[in-house]
Amino acid sequence: MKYLIGILLLACSLTSFAQNAERPLVQFSGIIYNVETNSVVPYATVTNVSTGKQVGSANYEGYFSFVAQEQDSLKFTSVGYFPTIVAVPKDIGKKSIIVEIRMRAQVLNLPMVRIFPWATTDEFRHDFLAMKVADDDLEIARKNLSASSINNLKRTMPLSGYESFNPQDKHNAIVNSHSFVNPLLNPFAWGSLIRDIAEGDKARKSDN
């Protein structure tokens, strides 16, 4: 019975080996792209799923070259992308093939994280108890409109244009404007001017 089991296992192994030997080796090469942005995906990992032993990787430009057999399944993985499985075509008729692998980005919505400036809960409790709670808006308005606050503002802030205006000065200017007489409309002023001119002419003639 033991010999029979051994013969069956040997036959299965030979059959599997014969099947693998029948499939030719292929140099499977290509470049890995992002299907959405069309940019290269660098340093992706290439794994032969059929054998489970062969593992390779792409370079920083997304280029890879992997030796596999026809009909082998190759799995491409990279951080931030969904895994992609590609099968090596059958009956290629040549020893090498170049393909383009398209990988889709995997977007993960992480939960919101809040960072607090306290290392421990004891530090938080201490700062919370020592915290000064701010007044509400109504209390702040009352403080700003209090007599002491307004007096302090009067002493420290300069007067505005309206506050520095004195109505008495404006009244005096109006009164003085009515009492002012234009000398050009005064006949006595014209007579004085003509007399001064005549006397000046006489003085110049006497000097000559």
**What is the per-residue pLDDT across 57-83, written as a single tens digit (0 to 9) for each?**
999 999 999 889 998 999 999 999 999
183-191: average pLDDT: 70
Task: Select from 75, 103, 131 the last residue of a domain.
Answer: 103
Confidence of residue 87 (pLDDT cuts 50, 70, 90): very high
pLDDT digits (tens, 9 = 90+) for 97-117: 999 999 999 988 888 888 888
Q: How many domains does the chain have?
A: 2
Q: What's the token pair of residue 104? A: 């889709």
Residue 135 lies in a domain: no
* Predicted pLDDT at 33: 96
30 residue type, one letter? G
Res. 45 pLDDT band, cuts 50 70 90? very high
48: confidence class by pLDDT, cuts 50, 70, 90:
very high
Q: Tell me, yes or no, whether 35 lies in a domain.
A: yes
**CB-based contact 77:45 (threshold 8 Å):** yes
Residue whose structure tokens are 């400036």: 117
CA distances from 189 to 14, 186, 197 (A): 143, 5, 12
72, 103, 134 - which closes a domain:
103
The residue type at 187 = P
Average pLDDT of the chain? 78
Q: State whether 89 and 181 are in the same domain.
A: no
CA–CA separation, 82 vs 45, rounded Å?
12
Residue 139 in any domain: the answer is no
Question: pLDDT value at position 183?
Answer: 65
pLDDT at 166 over 80: no
> What is the CATH number for 48?
2.60.40.10
Residue-range definition of the domain harbouring residue 190? 167-207
Identify whether the C-beta of residue 31 lies closer than 8 Å to the C-beta of residue 43: no
pLDDT at position 58, please?
94
Residue 109: inside a domain, yes or no?
no
- The one-letter amino acid code at 1 reads M
pLDDT at residue 169, as a whole number? 64
Judge if 92 and 176 occupy the same domain.
no
The last residue of one of the domains, among 84, 103, 122, is 103
Cα distances (angstroms) measured from residue 34 to each of 38, 62, 63, 110, 171: 5, 10, 13, 22, 84
